[in-house]
Structure 1
C-alpha cells in the first residue's frame, strides 16, 4: 500500500507521461494552447427585468449541451470599477473548443439555433470575440 504522497507523485507522473498535461511552449502550464475561444457578451433589452435575466440564464444553461463545447463559463460583471472595464453587459458566455471546426459545428448545431430562436428577443446587443493562438 502506498502513502498518499507516493500516490500523488505517481499519479502526476502518469498524467504527464500519458499526455494529459500539456505544457505551453514557454513552460507555463496555465496557458491554454491550440484551442478555439468563443466569448459572447449579452445586453438585455430590459436590463432591469429579473424575469428576462432568468430566461437568458436558463437558455445559456441549455446551450451548454452542445457536444463540441469542451468547457464553458457563464459570467456576469465582476464588482470591479476602472475606466477600462465594460460593465454594461448582463452575461458573458465563454466557450472553449478543440478547434475551429468544432466551433463552426456549434454555430449550426440545432441546440445553438434553438437558443437563438428562443432567446434572441431578450437581447438588445451581442458582441462576440473569437480567438485562436497568437503566432
Structure 2
C-alpha cells in the first residue's frame, strides 16, 4: 500500500506558519517603485527626498530608501527605480504609519512620479 505523507506535512507546515503570523514581531515593509520617467535622476531624487521624511514617523525602527543596483543575476529584478525598506516594531505600528497624515501626504506627493508600485510586508 502506497502512503501519501505530503498532505500531512503540508498541513503541519501551514499550521506552523499560521501561528507565526499570530505572534507579535517586527514587521518589514518593502516598497518597490517604477517611475513614470524611468532612469530620471530628478524624479528619483524627488521620490527619495519625500520618502526620507517618513523615517521619523512613530513606530519606525529603521528606514532605508535608494535606487536599484544593476545586476547580472538572472533572478535579480533590477528593472525598478527606487525601493524603500522599513522596519516597524509591530503590525500595529505599520497600520498607524499607513494611517498617519504625513504618510498620506507623502503618498499623494509621490503618486504623480510613480508608474507602478509593489509592496511586500512580512513579520519576523
Distance 1:104 1:126, change over 3 A: same
Q: Distance in 2 between matches of 1:49 and 1:77?
A: 12
- TM-score between the two structures when normalised by the length of structure 1: 0.70
- Say if 2:112 is the partner of 1:121: yes
| Corresponding residue for residue 10 of structure 1 | none
Q: Distance in 2 between matches of 1:95 and 1:46?
A: 24
- Look up the SS of the partner of 1:70 in the other structure: strand
Q: Distance in 1 between matches of 2:59 and 2:111?
A: 22
Contact 1:65/1:111, CA 8 A, preserved across alignment: no
Backbone CA RMSD of aligned residues: 1.5
- Look up the SS of the partner of 2:102 in the other structure: helix
- Look up the SS of the partner of 2:75 in the other structure: coil
Aligned match of 2:49 in 58, 71, 74? 58
More strand by share: 2
- Between stretches 119-128 and 48-57, larger displacement belongs to 48-57
| Structure 2 gap ranges (5+) | 1-23
| Corresponding residue for residue 32 of structure 2 | 41
Q: How many aligned positions are there?
A: 101
| Corresponding residue for residue 81 of structure 2 | 90
- TM-score between the two structures when normalised by the length of structure 2: 0.76
Q: 1:37-87 CA deviation, whole Å, 9 max, x = no partner?
A: 100001100113222111111111122221211101113222432110000
| Structure 1 gap ranges (5+) | 1-32
| Corresponding residue for residue 80 of structure 1 | 71
**Stretches (4+) displaced over 4 A:** none
Contact 1:74/1:91, CA 8 A, preserved across alignment: yes
